[in-house]
Amino acid sequence: MILKRSAIIMLALGVALAAALAAPTLARAYCVYNHTNTGLYVCGENCLRCLQTNVPAGGKACCPGDDKGCRGQTYITFSVDYGNRTSCNSFYVPKEVDAHGWVSLFGSCRKDWKKCDQSDACAGVTAKVYDKKGNVTYEGGVRQYAGDDCKQ
């Protein structure tokens, strides 16, 4: 009787362990909210499944945690979206967003394509970075970014 009970307990523990190991890892999603006056091309990381998309004014985009590349601890880079996959002059939020956190962008950028390459094209934009508990970890301006791809 004791042997049978021990076997049942060991079997139950084995099944529980196998289920825990087979379960997917925790999602590491993060989101970007665009509260600016214009659409933005937003990117998180440089990989095939990373967050790289256009976000309309008043919209949001999220990097779903089930996609490889949505790891958190990510700088958010953006540029003004002039339509037809055209953008110029990139900026970034100087604080990384953590897994399960989010970034809100506020303010305004110039909509004039002819002046988009000026360093103050998005001088009015500020950012708030939140951790997964909703605590603000950064609140302030964005910085110009000279790279051609997402800031790493």
SS3 of 18, please?
helix
Per-residue pLDDT of the chain (152 residues; tens, 9 = 90+): 565 555 555 555 444 434 333 333 345 589 999 999 989 989 887 666 678 889 999 999 998 766 666 777 889 999 888 776 566 778 899 999 988 999 999 999 877 766 766 777 788 899 999 999 999 999 999 998 887 667 77
Separation between Cα atoms, residue 87 and residue 39, nearest integer Å: 10
Left, alpha or beta for 120 (phi > 0: left; psi -120 to 50: alpha)? alpha
Cβ partners under 8 Å of residue 144, min gap 6: 89, 90, 91, 119
**Geometric angle at alpha carbon 103, from 98 and 106, rounded to 5°:** 160
Instruction: Report CA 115 to chain centroid distance, whole Å.
Output: 28
Q: Are the C-beta atoms of 63 and 108 separated by less than 8 Å?
A: no
The 3-state secondary structure of 26-57 reads CCCCEEEEEEECCCEEEECCCCCCCCEEEECC
The 3-state secondary structure of 121-142 reads CCCCCEEEEECCCCCEEEEEEC
Residue 76 main-chain phi, psi, to 5 deg = -100, 120
pTM for this prediction:
0.76
Q: Quick one: pLDDT at residue 80?
A: 85
Separation between Cα atoms, residue 36 and residue 27, nearest integer Å: 28
